[in-house]
Each structure stands twice: as structure tokens, then as C-alpha cells.
Amino acid sequence: MGESKGEAGPRHVLVLAGDGIGPEVTQGALRILEHLAERAGLNIHLTHDLAGGACYDRHGEFLRDDTLEAARNAHAILFGAEGGPAWDDLEIEGGPTARSGLSRLRKELDLYANVRPVRAWPGLAHLTPFVPERIEGADLIIVRELTGGVYFGEPRGIATHRGETRAVDTQVYTESEIERIASFAMALASRRQGLLTSVDKANVMETGVLWRRVASAAAARDYPDLTLEHLYADNCLFQLVTNPRRFDVIVADNLFGDLLSDCAAAIAGSLGMLPSASFGPAKAGGKRLALYEPVHGSAPDIAGRNIANPMAAILSVAMMLDTSFGRPDLARRIENAIESVLRENVLTRDLGGTASGDEMTEAILAALT
């Protein structure tokens, strides 16, 4: 899917650190990226730009056209986080999605496949609501559809209807949208344990009926050896919190995938532990444009205090090295360094410790060498 080892020329990474803790955790992630790239002879060229509220304050829009163009031409995009109280309640034409530079990036770059790996990290079980025996070894991936569904469906808006104010959102999926995300998840599951859980609400939603039908047909046609199961979203959440080890790959629509992944962060011990990668369609040669970002948001409650956990951003860089730059060896080194830092109890506040974000980054750097 990514690029092969040893390709010539610089790898262009567009960095959009964004708002709140976005710049803090991105700074940590870039230190790790630059450290590894320098030693591994990887020629990484970074370009920084504004996105989200920071961009709105400067330019009056949440993402500029120029930035979108730069993202389209980059080898990879590293995103921090966006949003915060200064912008969350702004009334913008087009509604909440129009307030999100990230949503524009995802939609306009067609980054439809959002991969959110979740694992129970050694030494963090006590921070979770689980008893260790229930989660040790949990290792699953949520594949979230990222460019469709209720996030972008029309009609939408708030207007007067029959004498009262009414809000409308539309959940809509086409067969091809479902097919491409289901196929992406199936390819991933077939490289792992071969179990794909497809999530929907086919008992109440038409989109769920189609989701189930299309996923089943694609599996029967292209992945006969794969085990495909269908779970209603509510039941899936219940099973995620009672028996997370039973899952391998989960595929869900945009909204269910969003909810499932924050919930699954409880397995990892903190939202600060969950990375993600969002992929566009395969281009010639099989490469995909990809955006890497932590699952968490801008955490305004802790921003600017150097206490945010940078691990989700750092693990997002690991995903970038693995998939976009064809260096799984460097990705494993980051994961191993994180494991050893956790074992040494260098923990930020969300993990029950007192280390600052910078101290955690330093500890990871030290564990890498």
C-alpha cells in the first residue's frame, strides 16, 4: 500500500498541528520522526501550515485552498487536532462540518478509510475499567468509513418547519461507498486473524440494511476464507467493553466508527494512546495519499500546560513510517520504545503519572537509541 524502501527524493510531509494540544503532541511526534529519519537516511521534508481554529483566526476560514492543494501533493500529512471553545459554537453557514478544516481535508482528499488500531498496552491495564485478565493481549483495528454517512449527508440544517424549529441530518450511503470500505477492511482482516466484524443498525436503518447486504456480497465474492460477522452497533459496543479480545478487525460507518474508537480507547488506557491513519483510493502503483493523526481532540482542558500525552501522535508517525514510507522496522522501533517507557513508568497524567509531555518524548527518544 505504501512506498517502497529506498525510493529517491525527499518525502514531503505536510504538518498541520492545529489547535489546543495539537501543536504540543505534534512537536513530540516530529522530534521522533526527525531523529529516526536522520539515522535511517530517510530524507523527510516538512512543511508547516495552519488548520482549524488557528487558521480561522488568521485567515477567516478553517482550511485554505492552498493548504488543501499542498496536502494533495504531499507524500503524507501529519495532523494534530482541531477545535476548542473559541470556535466550537460559531455559527457558520453549512453547519458544524463547515467549521472543521479536518472534515474538509478528509472529504476533498477522499480519505475514506480511517484505520484506528487499539491494543492493551503492557502495564496500563490498571488504568482501564477492565480486570487485566479480560484485556491482556487485546489487539484490534477499527476501520471507520470517513467521507460519507451522516457527517456529509444532504439535506441538513436547522430551519422552521410547520411553525417550529427543526434540525435535519441525513445518513446516506451508496453501494460503492460501502463496498470500498468493506473491501479495505476485508483486505486488512485477511492479513491478520481473518475475522471481520461489520457494524450497523440494520434493525432500524435503511443504510444499515444496505451496509449488511453489500458487505456480505463482497465477502462471498472476494474473501471466501474470511469470517464475516454482523453485529448491531449497540451490541458491538457492549461486547467491546466486556470481551475486547474477541475482535480482530471492526468495520463501521463514519458515526459508529467515531463512537466505537473513543470507547475502545478505554482498552488502551487513555485517549492519548490511540493513533490513526486515513487513506485515499489507491493511485497508480498502489500508493495511497494518507493523513496521520491521533484519535483524540484538542483537549482544551489541558492545553498549553505540557501535560498532554504525545504517544498517540508518536504512534501516528509510526503508522506513517510503516505505511507511507515502507519502513515497518522504524515503526516497530517506536512501538518497542513506547513499551519500554511504559515499563519504566514514565507516565503522563492521563496514565496516572507526573511526567510532562516533553519528558515522555525525551524518554521515548532515549529508548530508541
Catalytic positions, written as ranges: 151, 201, 234, 258, 262
Stretch of 100-108, 176-184, 211-219, 257-265 lying at the interface with Mn ion (CB under 5 A)? 257-265
Site for ligand NAD in 20-79 (CB under 6 A): 21, 25
316 binds ligand IPM (CB under 6 A): no
Residue span 99-118 as binding mask against ligand NAD, x where in contact by CB under 6 A, dash where not = ---x----------------
Contacts of 188 (CB under 8 A, 6+ apart): 115, 141, 143, 249
60-64 long-range Cβ contacts below 8 angstroms, 24+ apart: 62/87, 62/98, 62/99, 62/100, 62/101, 62/104, 63/101, 63/102, 63/104, 63/105
Residue span 249-288 as binding mask against ligand IPM, x where in contact by CB under 6 A, dash where not = ---------x------------------------------
Q: How far apart are the first and last CA of the chain?
A: 28
C-alpha of 149 from chain center: 17
Closest alpha carbon to 23 in 45, 55, 1: 55
Closest alpha carbon to 78 in 145, 10, 2, 17: 17
299 binds ligand NAD (CB under 6 A): yes
Closest alpha carbon to 108 in 287, 259, 289: 289
Residue 222 or 358: the one with the smaller Cβ distance to ligand NAD is: 358
Backbone Cα Rg of the chain = 20
| Binds 25: which of Mn ion, ligand IPM, ligand NAD, none (CB < 5-8 Å by kind) | ligand NAD
Site for ligand IPM in 71-100 (CB under 6 A): 83, 100
115 within 8 A of 278, measured Cβ to Cβ:
yes
Q: How far is the CB of 77 from ligand IPM (least distance, A)?
A: 14
Residue span 332-361 as binding mask against ligand NAD, x where in contact by CB under 6 A, dash where not = ------------------x-----------
Cell matching residue 179: 463496498
Number of Cβ within 10 Å of residue 275's Cβ equals 25
Q: How far is the CB of 258 from Mn ion (least distance, A)?
A: 4
Stretch of 20-28, 119-127, 230-238, 258-266 lying at the interface with Mn ion (CB under 5 A)? 258-266
| Binds 298: which of ligand IPM, ligand NAD, Mn ion, none (CB < 5-8 Å by kind) | ligand NAD
165, burial (CB in 10 Å: exposed 0-12, middle 13-18, buried 19+): exposed
Residue with cell 488557528: 54
Residue span 219-248 as binding mask against ligand NAD, x where in contact by CB under 6 A, dash where not = ------------------------------
Residue 101 or 208: the one with the smaller Cβ distance to ligand NAD is: 101
Q: How far is the CB of 178 from ligand IPM (least distance, A)?
A: 18
Closest alpha carbon to 223 in 179, 183, 167: 183
Residue least distant from Mn ion (Cβ): 258
Q: How far is the CB of 41 from ligand NAD (least distance, A)?
A: 31
149 within 8 A of 254, measured Cβ to Cβ:
yes
The residue within the footprint of Mn ion, chosen from 145, 200, 253, 258 (CB under 5 A), is 258
The residue within the footprint of ligand NAD, chosen from 257, 297, 319, 325 (CB under 6 A), is 297
Site for ligand IPM in 156-215 (CB under 6 A): none
Indicate left, alpha or beta for 306 from its phi (over 0: left) and psi (-120 to 50: alpha). left
Closest alpha carbon to 333 in 31, 13, 36: 36
Q: Which residues bind ligand NAD (CB under 6 A)?
A: 21, 25, 81-84, 88, 102, 271-272, 293, 296-302, 308-309, 312, 350
Q: Which residues bind ligand IPM (CB under 6 A)?
A: 83, 100, 102-103, 258, 295, 297
Q: Which residues bind Mn ion (CB under 5 A)?
A: 258
